[in-house]
């Protein structure tokens, strides 16, 4: 009778897996496979318990909330910047006078206030100086003379305070005239001018300022 034997004999008649070299290689392969399985199981989420997964999820949710909070804060800052920019443009357009017409526009506004208060508008002089550190802003120094009584002067100051133009009263002096009961009034004011064309404003030279004062002044 023949007996089936599926064991593979070695070259010398011994089983191959009983040879020392084959057994050593087999042991190395088993250990390597065990290390791979251990690394995969311990590193993947399937190797974590349900409590560990819940803690990990809670940590990720907390990080997400913190990042959303930072984004919300940045959006609020951007909204405030946009609002401040809009308010700046509104302020400039409403209160600041264009450089090209600052003298005539300021004089027209002062004449309007004087007429409403009852004062008589006399000579006015102007001097434009650029604002230090700014390319398109300038100050307009105004030296104006008026004539009127005390109640008219008080009314003029009240109207000046509510003017749409940004007119800053620096000094105000009043002295009675000998020939009448009226007051001789001198007011020094400042106005802000802006060059909307973006051209840098240069100071007016003394000679040019004198010519400008002569042309603008003398309003009676």
Whether the CB-CB separation of 218 and 146 falls below 8 Å is answered with no
Q: Where are the alpha helices (DSSP H) in 18-149?
A: 20-43, 50-95, 102-117
Query: Mean pLDDT, to the nearest integer, of 143-150?
Result: 94
SS3 label, residue 142: strand
The confidence score (pLDDT) of residue 22 equals 64
The confidence score (pLDDT) of residue 59 equals 87
Q: Which helix (H) or strand (E) holds 172?
A: strand 167-176
CA neighbor of 216 nearest in space, from 142, 125, 141 = 125
Query: Mean pLDDT, to the nearest integer, of 118-123?
Result: 94
List the beta bridge partners of residue 127.
Answer: 141
DSSP at 64: H
Q: What are phi and psi of 4, to 5 degrees?
A: -75, 135
Note the pLDDT tens digit of each residue in 72-115.
888 888 888 888 888 877 777 777 778 778 888 889 999 999 99
Q: Which helix (H) or strand (E) holds 126?
A: strand 120-130
């Amino acid at each position: 009778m023949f007996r089936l034997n599926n064991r593979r004999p070695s070259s010398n008649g011994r089983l191959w897996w009983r040879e020392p070299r084959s057994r050593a290689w087999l042991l190395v392969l088993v250990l390597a496979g065990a290390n791979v399985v251990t690394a995969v199981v311990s590193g993947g989420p399937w190797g974590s318990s349900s409590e560990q997964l819940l803690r990990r999820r809670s940590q990720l949710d907390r990080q997400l909330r913190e990042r959303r909070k930072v984004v919300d804060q940045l959006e609020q800052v951007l909204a405030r910047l946009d609002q401040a920019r809009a308010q700046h443009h509104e302020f400039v357009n409403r209160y600041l006078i264009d450089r090209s017409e600052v003298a005539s526009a300021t004089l027209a506004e002062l004449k309007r206030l004087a007429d409403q208060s009852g004062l008589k508008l006399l000579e006015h002089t102007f001097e434009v100086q650029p604002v230090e550190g700014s390319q398109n802003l300038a100050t307009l120094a105004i030296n104006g003379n008026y004539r009127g009584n005390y109640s008219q002067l008080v009314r003029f100051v009240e109207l000046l305070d509510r003017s749409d133009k940004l007119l800053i009263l620096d000094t105000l002096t009043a002295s009675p005239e000998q020939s009448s009961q009226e007051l001789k009034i001198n007011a020094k004011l400042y106005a802000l001018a802006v060059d909307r064309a973006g051209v840098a404003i240069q100071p007016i030279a003394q000679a040019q300022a004198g010519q400008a004062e002569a042309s603008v002044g003398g309003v009676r």
